[in-house]
Structure 1
Amino acid sequence: MDSGSKSSNTISGATNNAVQIGEVRGDFHFHAVAPATFPVPRQLPPDVPGFINQEAHLSRLSAWLRPSAQRAPLVQVIAGVGGVGKTSLVTHWAHRVRDWFSDGDLFVDLHGYHPDRVVSAGAALSAMLRALNVSGDRIPTTVDAMSGLYRSLLHERRVLVFLDNASSVEQVRPLLPGSPSCRVVITSRSQLGGLVVRNGAHCMPLDVLSHEHATSLLRRVIGDRAVAEPGAVDQLAGYCGYLPLALHIAAEQLVARPGARVSDLVAELTDERERLDVLATPGDESSAVRAVFALSYGALPAAAARAYRLLGFFAGQDIGLPAAAALLGLGAGQTRRVLAELTSVHLLTEKDNQRYQLHDLLRLHAAERAEIDEPADERSAALSRLMTWYAHATRAAVREIIPFFSQIPVELARTATPVPDFPDRAAALAWSDLELPNLTAGIRQAAALGDHEQVWRLAVLMFGILLVRRPHADWLATHEAGLVSARACGEIAAQAWLLTSVAIAERELRDPERALGHVEQALECWRADGTRWGVAWALRDTAATHHQLGRHAEAIAMFEQALAMHRADGDTWGEATALAGLTKAHVGNGELDTALAESRRALHIRREHEDSRNIGQALNDVGRVHLAMRDFQEAIECAEQGLDLLVATDYWHGQAISHELLGDALHGAGRREEALARWRMAADLYGSLGDPHANEVRARLSS
């Protein structure tokens, strides 16, 4: 195409103005084009200095112009949350390829999310026609007529049209040229799906920066202070959520305060309640992070705005579709649609497994709006619905995870949201792993709001998950909160349950004295409540604590009391558990033959129950006795069999025990290198669980 010659030609249909504006011929309106020559508008905003990252997006945009991309879409939508750098990306790219568009570039800021300054399609067309040298008196009065004239002017011209900050399909569709020689780039907080469906547009989502590029941006702007405090720079990038707007604001604040350290600004951002206040530019509040988010929020329909607020109100970091339905009090279909509306405008991100997450700074903004715009009783009702659903789902999961374990009665309100139907233990564990952070966050939030009934119930129901996964920090946090709430409600059985559970966690954290105090209190509560199996449970855990303290005789006596109670009640699950404890105590006391008989009886019971996880644990116990007897090959065989079962049932703590036992037995058999490998695996597993026993295994490795 010879753009120069076309620029000097008279526009077809405009010669001598023979066809007047608005003249009707048959069924068609004809409009003359006023200019005799085609101008070359150059309207791009100034280039962005020191542009960071997004090379992949820049490359994709540039590839869009290559001759090999003849069938490429003529319209690109760059979509992302406010402040993510959409305009900067397109501006920087457009300057790089400006020479390709020999007939010029047009730019319109559509202010699509501003409550008072939205530019209509008609106003945008009028401005672009003036840029194309059409005088005001020759501009048609209807959008359709203006759009037709605009397309006529751009026919076979090589022009880049940059439509910035669009909010709707209706706002931009009349601004699309009809010529394949033109290209249109649109930035929007929405995906503008209608353009993809009807106009063949391509949507390119833009996400926040990586940690590496975020810190690179900060170092480039801040300079030497960033080099002096690399750790603070990492924290600053995290507090800014890797959002380019927030990063620029933070960096410019430090530039304006040459005497301040990076860590000083980090300290100001540490309090989440103050973070959005800090991420603002004095004298330019319109570019503050809060103000940018407010434009997106203000454009939401009522149902989506409510969902945004309530998602921000909940303290969890992400949420699944069923949990979101419970929080919002909607059916699954309605919930999916309203969440899709939020994702389409990049206020919410959909992850795998129909899970949704607010960006960290958006979460703070949404929580603010919940406090301001959502009545307190609505917030309370939403959290109560969610906690009730979580309690039902947790109980269903635990029934699959440890089906033989006794449970105190926990009465729950009905939930309108369907509870997951877990087909097997693996599915229940997978759900638990995803939801554990939310269960913990929900308990903390409900406790802070004084909803004691919800707190103790969910804490009690979570025990099975915690026992199997052993996340000790969450275990103590949830159960200590639950204990406070159980006491506030006068729930004796719940107090007994939670005291026993807390003692188990403390014993695993190698704090037996503290554990002993709690389990003795639990024993008193169980007796006061009259729950016989609870008394036996507390006796077992008191015995286990004495064993940890090296008081093996006391431990044996108490284990035997519990064992007698379980046998009298016909409770074979409890019997096997008491025998496992007795095995360890008798090994500690040097009574190995007795220990071997007890461990084999426990293994027999576990096999009758067909419970693979507990069979694996029982095999470890038998192997530990063989190790004490210096029968290393038998110990190795038991540990290997146990490990296979524990891997199959995804029981991490049991796997750590198997690896440690294998290391000990292999070392005893003189297979040093194999032993070291097993100890390393055990140390890694214990460490991932936050179990301080990892340090003991590592010490063994180093020695």
Structure 2
Amino acid sequence: MLQNLQQLSLSIWLAAAVGIAVASLAVRWFRQTFELAGFEFPFKVIFKRREKATPAPVTSQPPTLLTAPPPPATIPTLRPAREFGVETSGVSQSQLTVGDVAGRDLKKAEGDYLEAGAVKNVYEAAPLPLASGSGIPPSRAARFVDRGPIVDRLRKAIRAESAAAIVGVGGVGKTELARFLANEIEDTSPGSVLWITVADRPLADVHRRMAGALGVTFPPNADAQSRYEILLAALGSSRRTVILDDIRAGFKPHLPFCLPPTPPCAALVTSRQIELPGLPLGAMHSLDVMTEAQALELLRGVEGLAELAAREEQAANDMCRLCGYHPLALDLAARRLLKRLHDSRAPIAAFTQNLKDRLAQLKTGEGPLESLSANFELSYADLSESDRVRFRRLAVFAATGFAPRAAAALWGESEDQARDSIERLQNASLVLPAETAGRFQLHDLLHEFARLKLREAEERDAAHRAHGEFLIALFGEHYTGDPSTAPGVTHELDNLRAAAEWARANGEGRLLA
């Protein structure tokens, strides 16, 4: 009989437990139904408010000039999550805001909290691994070569939690400098650098990589503005240094949708494009090719070449000069030289003597970091078709450069139009100011690249004839025995010699006459 009583007692307890569970589910279902319908649940229990971090501010438009976000005390009312298409099971979307969910994968937390007289469900972000591309890439150089005052200027900008950009010709060392600064930051603030290699990625992919590094995701139907607001919310409460490497021409309109709030964050951008939207005045820092001393330091820093460069000092200087003091060209030359150390008793001198076709020989592969020509091709491909024609025709000028009126004659446009065209090529880091005021030139290696493109386009003869005819007209107009009376003409003497040499080599007697 005692056993029967025990079984009866156990049955009663089980029935009671099942009843409580069913009742709890029923109450939860009714509560969710009421809230989804927009009514107040009549038997709601008010729980003590759970502590919650103040949400980061959200801006409605990407900044033109980056400014600090509003302080927490003035945070505006955030937009309802339903505007972002957030799907949440059993939660009234009218009560959720971007600050609550931040576009993240949602995980139900235990309990509710009270805010503004209404109960809301608490959600926490599910942890996400770092997205591919958000870490600092490894260095190509054996050791970093200090590039002078620009390094300190960039350090100062980052410490001031502002935005800065490193701009310059392809292969000049922009990424290497950004990588050096990023590692400096990581040494003192581990985990604070968010590195994104942009290159030819679309905006949505860049946003996804940034979100992955920050541990957030986006609703499936979020547009660029919505994604940017979510990123701002995540970045606004942290001190991050966001590095956007290799911004190309096609990505320029999207750049403002990737810049973090500064402060509390800092931003560092690298690009061949000199004009970048969304950055404050004074943010552009131009990185030139190396000085002779820096180029020699780079060469000596390569394992296996230090002692050799000291022994063949003049040959090492010649090698740096032939590479145009261009970091990528020197890197590729050093890699090829290492394979030829046993070909001669003076391997640097032998290598330099045989360096005739630099674009073809300074190559270890097909990628932009393995081939000088492939690297320059990225800048060339970013141009419009008409600007590609303009760039390659500049190959006919002498190394000392050209005036806008000479370029205008070559391009068949007015001088004002030519100035605008030159400015576009400058913005792409393909044309540089010459030492003489008002004149422009190509870097030595880019000059060789332009000649290659002119030959491939089969436009050499037409371009050289147009150049020669311009010079004949110019010197005919300013014919004088006193060069001081026509100072602009004297700067064209090198071009006159180059045009005469071409005419003589190609049997263009009419131009020589």
TM-score (norm 1): 0.53
Kept in 1, the 8 Å contact 2:168–2:273? The answer is yes
Change (3 A) 1:174 1:282: closer
* 1:357 matched residue in structure 2: 441
Kept in 2, the 8 Å contact 1:40–1:104? The answer is no
SS at match of 1:97: helix
State which of 329, 335, 338 in structure 2 corresponds to 1:246: 329
Letter aligned with residue 500 of structure 2: I
Kept in 1, the 8 Å contact 2:245–2:269? The answer is yes
Q: Which runs of 5+ in 2 are unaligned?
A: 1-50, 58-78, 87-92, 106-123
CA drift at 1:365: 0.8
Superposition map of 1:570-589 within 5 A:
none
Identical pairs, percent: 26
Question: What is the distance in 1 between the residues matched to 2:485 and 2:235?
Answer: 58
Superposition map of 1:273-284 within 5 A:
274-282=357-365
SS at match of 2:363: coil
Change (3 A) 1:141 1:97: same
Q: Which has the higher strand share?
A: 2
Question: What is the distance in 1 between the residues matched to 2:285 and 2:188?
Answer: 21
SS at match of 1:194: coil
Question: What is the distance in 1 between the residues matched to 2:472 and 2:179?
Answer: 51
* 1:22 matched residue in structure 2: 85
* 2:382 matched residue in structure 1: 299
Question: What is the distance in 2 between the residues matched to 1:395 and 1:100?
Answer: 66
SS at match of 2:204: helix
The answer to whether structure 1 residue 439 and structure 2 residue 505 are counterparts is no
1:555-578 per-residue CA deviation (whole Å, 9 max, x = no partner) reads xxxxxxxxxxxxxxxxxxxxxxxx
CA drift at 1:285: 6.9
SS at match of 2:301: helix
SS at match of 1:176: coil
Change (3 A) 1:30 1:241: same
CA drift at 1:131: 1.6
The answer to whether structure 1 residue 58 and structure 2 residue 116 are counterparts is no
The answer to whether structure 1 residue 322 and structure 2 residue 380 are counterparts is no
Superposition map of 1:163-174 within 5 A:
163-167=244-248, 168-174=251-257
State which of 46, 64, 73 in structure 1 corresponds to 2:138: 46
Superposition map of 1:102-501 within 5 A:
104-111=192-199, 118-135=200-217, 138=219, 141-167=222-248, 168-196=251-279, 199-200=280-281, 202-221=283-302, 222-260=305-343, 261-269=347-355, 271=356, 274-282=357-365, 287-351=370-434, 352-373=436-457, 375-376=458-459, 379-399=460-480, 401-402=481-482, 426-428=484-486, 430-456=487-513
* Larger gyration radius, structure 1 or structure 2: 1
Kept in 1, the 8 Å contact 2:195–2:243? The answer is yes
CA drift at 1:120: 1.4
SS at match of 2:172: coil
SS at match of 1:398: coil
Letter aligned with residue 352 of structure 2: V
Question: What is the distance in 2 between the residues matched to 1:293 and 1:78?
Answer: 17
SS at match of 2:222: coil
Kept in 2, the 8 Å contact 1:101–1:160? The answer is no
Question: What is the distance in 2 between the residues matched to 1:46 and 1:316?
Answer: 36
Letter aligned with residue 383 of structure 1: H
1:638-663 per-residue CA deviation (whole Å, 9 max, x = no partner) reads xxxxxxxxxxxxxxxxxxxxxxxxxx
Change (3 A) 1:31 1:447: farther
1:513-541 per-residue CA deviation (whole Å, 9 max, x = no partner) reads xxxxxxxxxxxxxxxxxxxxxxxxxxxxx
Kept in 1, the 8 Å contact 2:329–2:362? The answer is yes
Superposition map of 1:615-626 within 5 A:
none
Question: What is the distance in 2 between the residues matched to 1:9 and 1:245?
Answer: 50
1:481-529 per-residue CA deviation (whole Å, 9 max, x = no partner) reads xxxxxxxxxxxxxxxxxxxxxxxxxxxxxxxxxxxxxxxxxxxxxxxxx
Kept in 2, the 8 Å contact 1:160–1:182? The answer is yes
State which of 156, 174, 187 in structure 2 corresponds to 1:86: 174
Letter aligned with residue 58 of structure 1: V
Kept in 1, the 8 Å contact 2:431–2:443? The answer is yes
Kept in 2, the 8 Å contact 1:304–1:339? The answer is no
Question: What is the distance in 1 between the residues matched to 2:313 and 2:505?
Answer: 35
Aligned length: 402
CA drift at 1:426: 2.3
Letter aligned with residue 210 of structure 2: M
* 2:42 matched residue in structure 1: none
* 1:491 matched residue in structure 2: none
Letter aligned with residue 212 of structure 2: R
Question: What is the distance in 2 between the residues matched to 1:127 and 1:297?
Answer: 28
SS at match of 2:478: helix
Kept in 1, the 8 Å contact 2:167–2:272? The answer is yes
User: Considering only aligned residues, what root-mean-square deviation do their CA atoms show, in Å?
Assistant: 3.0
Letter aligned with residue 273 of structure 2: S
Question: What is the distance in 1 between the residues matched to 2:351 and 2:340?
Answer: 10
The answer to whether structure 1 residue 77 and structure 2 residue 151 are counterparts is no
CA drift at 1:445: 1.4
TM-score (norm 2): 0.72
Superposition map of 1:519-558 within 5 A:
none
Question: What is the distance in 2 between the residues matched to 1:18 and 1:451?
Answer: 75
1:50-71 per-residue CA deviation (whole Å, 9 max, x = no partner) reads 11131311111112244xx47x
1:272-325 per-residue CA deviation (whole Å, 9 max, x = no partner) reads xx2211100147575200000011111110121011110024455411111111
Question: What is the distance in 1 between the residues matched to 2:223 and 2:381?
Answer: 29
SS at match of 1:81: coil
Question: What is the distance in 2 between the residues matched to 1:104 and 1:293?
Answer: 33
CA drift at 1:380: 2.7
Q: Which has the higher helix share?
A: 1
Higher RCO (C-alpha 8 Å, min separation 6): 2
Kept in 2, the 8 Å contact 1:81–1:346? The answer is yes
Change (3 A) 1:64 1:183: same
Question: What is the distance in 2 between the residues matched to 1:248 and 1:13?
Answer: 44
SS at match of 2:491: helix
Kept in 2, the 8 Å contact 1:22–1:29? The answer is no
Letter aligned with residue 452 of structure 2: E
Change (3 A) 1:218 1:93: same
SS at match of 2:437: helix
Question: What is the distance in 1 between the residues matched to 2:80 and 2:488?
Answer: 73
